[in-house]
Chain A
Amino acid sequence: MLEKIARPEEIRRWEGDLPVRHRYTPGVAGDAFFTALKERGVLLGSRCESCAYTYVPARLFCERCFSELSADTEVGPAGELVSFTIVFQGIEGEPLERPQTLGAVRLDGADAVLIHRVQPGEEPLEIGERVEVVIEPEPRRTGSILDIAGFRVVET
């Protein structure tokens, strides 16, 4: 059954793709989150009182108890650096000109953590230290997760 390929250059291959692209709208909770971020420069979460848990970004429902939630809780702008990583390679494995730091931050008032870039500081980062969110100035905000420029260490 198995046939040996003597001339690999003659293997017949067909190239193709899936001719689709996608447009994702942010949904009920996402609309509230991005509108507040764009218009007011604040981060909205959703509090589930019965589970004593605050999600961020905001959500329409609690995945733990299925209660309906709203974007009722402003979180941050400061929080705790839960973890971080420094990325030296790009997606194709190429070295990055400038390493990129990504942090997982539990913003004050939230239970869920938010992942975003961490702006470089003078000192090496430490897990557990205080950071704050940097929001782009109003004219540059478009209603995108990139309206958050990143986190930076809180100067003490």
Chain B
Amino acid sequence: MTRRVAVVGAGMTRFVRRALETGKELAWEASREALASCELPLDRIDAVCLTSAPDAFDGVHMKGEYLSDGAGAFGRPFIRTYVGGGSGVFTAIQAYYTVASGMADVVLAVAEEKMSSTQPHPQGAFLTIFDNILERPLGPNLLWIFALEMNRYMTVHGIDKRDIAAVAVKNKRNAADHPAALLGQADITIEDVLASETLAWPVQRLDVSPISDGAVAIVVASEEAAKQITSDPVWIQGVGWNLDTAYWTNRDLVFPDYVANAARMAYGMAGVTEPRKQIHVAEPYDPFDYKELHHLEGLLLFDKGMAPEAARDGVLDRKGDLPSCPSGGLLGVGNPIAAAGLMKIAELFWQLRGEAGARQVPGTPERGVAQAWGDLMQVGTVVVMGREGPPTTATQLETPPAATPATSLSDAEFRSATGAVEDEIGARYAWDAGVAIGRFLDGLRDGKIMGRECRNCERVLVPPRMFCERCFRGTHAWKQVEHTGEVQTFSICNVRWDMQPLDEPELPAVIAIDGSDGGFLHTLGEVDPDEIRIGMKVEAVWKPVSERTGSILDIAYFRPRQGDPRGSRSERERASASPPGEDAS
């Protein structure tokens, strides 16, 4: 039998572009505020859960342990986890089960991120999110994933970009009431968002949350301890997390199943049977504006494709029927990755206690849901929180957080800081293709696209793998698939990964290869960007045989299919590409 668990305190630093404080110092400032908020000394903490981005991100080996003193972990059981963008919400889940299991009575959960150390742009550390062999040679940019998902979501549901921009406007306006916010802006309009620079169509600059430094901490306690600490605990009623496939191009880009699965788990635990009636305030993950809508649908709070209308009609406003991101979210408060997720838990804590001041949603909400998303764009992490009876604390409090430590450094101060050092890990890697991809690359050299057939679930997997992750058994046979396919989604990308402008836009696309299941990432060519459509039939354009090396780049790009797919190929291509069919091996 698990024990009931409550959040009893929360604190955070300001989210700033570049903090004077070290990561340890940020973690300590947030932790101290969380403890102060419930008047607990450090010695009441039994265990510490911490989250922060992977070590390679800011080049600090064993970063969790490096940060541990700032999280109060000296002499205590300590664990650090990281599940990408889902981390901040996950560390609350981890604190929950550490207490629910009886292993600790009071846990400090801390999320810290210092993105400003990473030069020239934090995206450099994210490039290995892409498959090193099949995707990185294409020169991808993290924006591609978001732009490709957003385009398909918009196109399939016929969504107006204005309704998506309404989310960025709402959140940046909400953040104007958040003392710790980086990008609060009370007077921003939809026109401002639509007029901002197009980074990777349809993603514009103001659709995106800013990189930031910051830390957040909460105190989580067992029922017995919580009732000693506060008269107004906020209960963690349900938690859920769930992973989708590791092949992002094989996922449903229109609906986040991983969020829906995590939400069902959390709602089940919380006894929530009708989320649209029983959830009164939501903090869905909003690194991009469309993502908040995507996630609200994943949280089963709106029908598929219906959240944008709610944004347009004000349903998601602080005073709307379902306030969403009343904090200001990542788009307004900032996005220090791991910390941003835990900020959402802190916001629910304040909202459900009726302490949110200028940000308070009306109608004394009893139950809320916080959610984040991450890993290889495939994890959903969900926490349902609620209170019993009306809040007992005074409602006329200052707008939280009460204190907002963290000091922002200017560019000049960052460049000239006494004692600063520059370094790089300097590690180089050589990644083996392995069995399935090695054979796939051999096929490309020979002008064939090879898949692996799983006869159990009747799928042909491209890229191929030697085992089926659904059936968890070996795949059965190699199968050559077509050179043709259909554009599932695309983007027109104007910037490199370091956000420098490109001379010519890149045209990434997810292409469903005919005769296979799921899509695969490549680029489009021989096409006017304005002519590209989702659903467009395309065909591979192969490099000349002499230039092929057994690489994803042996396909130069995909172009619109020209009449009869076979007949339209040049002699050279016909001579160098083999027709599809069953492969004996």
Contacts and interface: CB of A to CB of B under 8 A. Distances in A.
B91 to A, nearest CB: 19
B150 interface: no
B20 A144 contact: no
Contacts of A68: 32
B427 A22 contact: no
Contact of A18 (B35, B124, B133, B423): B124
A154 interface: no
A66 B217 CA distance: 14
Interface of B: 20-22, 24-25, 28, 31-32, 35, 41-43, 56, 58-59, 69-70, 72, 74-75, 117-120, 122, 124-125, 127-128, 132-133, 136-137, 407, 409, 414, 417-425, 427-433, 435, 437-438, 441, 466-467, 474, 550
B428 A31 contact: no
Given A17-B429, A27-B25, A35-B418, 15 more contacts: A11-B438, A14-B133, A14-B137, A16-B136, A20-B424, A23-B117, A23-B119, A24-B117, A26-B22, A34-B419, A60-B25, A63-B70, A63-B72, A66-B31, A143-B418
Given A18-B124, A18-B127, A13 B421 contact: no
A61 B43 CA distance: 15
A18 B425 contact: yes
Interface of A: 1-3, 11-31, 33-35, 38, 60-61, 63-66, 68, 143-144
A156 to B, nearest CB: 34
B420 A27 contact: no
Contact of A66 (B72, B132, B427): B72
9 contacts: A12-B133, A13-B433, A16-B431, A20-B119, A22-B424, A23-B422, A24-B420, A25-B414, A65-B41
Contacts of B117: 22-24
A14 B421 contact: no
A26 B421 CA distance: 8
A3 B75 CA distance: 49
A100 B402 CA distance: 51
Nearest to A27: B22
A155 to B, nearest CB: 31
Given A1-B466, A22-B117, A27 B433 contact: no
A150 B84 CA distance: 41
A68 B56 CA distance: 30
Contact of A13 (B75, B422, B432): B432
Nearest to B128: A18
B124 A30 contact: no
Given A13-B433, A18-B128, A19-B127, A26 B32 contact: no
B37 to A, nearest CB: 14
Contact of A20 (B24, B125, B419): B125
A35 B417 CA distance: 10
Q: By CB atoms of chain A within 10 A, which of B25, B433, B435, B550 has the most? A: B25
B441 A12 contact: yes
A41 B438 CA distance: 59
Given A11-B438, A17-B427, A26 B419 contact: yes
A61 B28 contact: yes
Nearest to B22: A27
B418 A31 contact: yes
A22 B424 CA distance: 6
Contact of B74 (A28, A34, A63, A144): A63
A22 B417 contact: no
Contacts of A66: 28, 31-32, 35, 41-42, 72
Contact of B22 (A1, A12, A15, A30): A30
A20 B124 contact: yes
A34 B41 CA distance: 31
A103 to B, nearest CB: 22
B212 to A, nearest CB: 16
A72 B120 CA distance: 36
Nearest to A20: B124
Nearest to A64: B74
B119 A14 contact: no
Contacts of B431: 13-16
Given A12-B441, A19-B127, A20-B125, A25 B32 contact: no
Contact of A24 (B32, B423, B432): B423
Nearest to B69: A63
B419 A33 contact: yes
B432 to A, nearest CB: 6
A20 B467 CA distance: 34
Contact of A16 (B72, B74, B132, B435): B132
Contacts of B424: 20-22
Contact of B419 (A17, A19, A30): A30
Contacts of B22: 24-28, 30
A66 B58 CA distance: 25
A144 B421 contact: yes
B515 to A, nearest CB: 24
Please list the 10 inter-chain residue pairs (A to B) with the smallest Cβ-Cβ separation, ordered nearest first. A34-B419, A27-B22, A63-B69, A12-B433, A21-B424, A143-B418, A26-B419, A20-B124, A25-B417, A22-B59
A63 B74 CA distance: 6
A11 B437 CA distance: 11
B209 to A, nearest CB: 20
Given A12-B438, A18-B125, A66-B31, A28 B25 contact: yes
Given A3-B435, A66-B72, A24 B128 contact: no
Contacts of A26: 22, 417-420
Nearest to B413: A25
Nearest to B431: A14
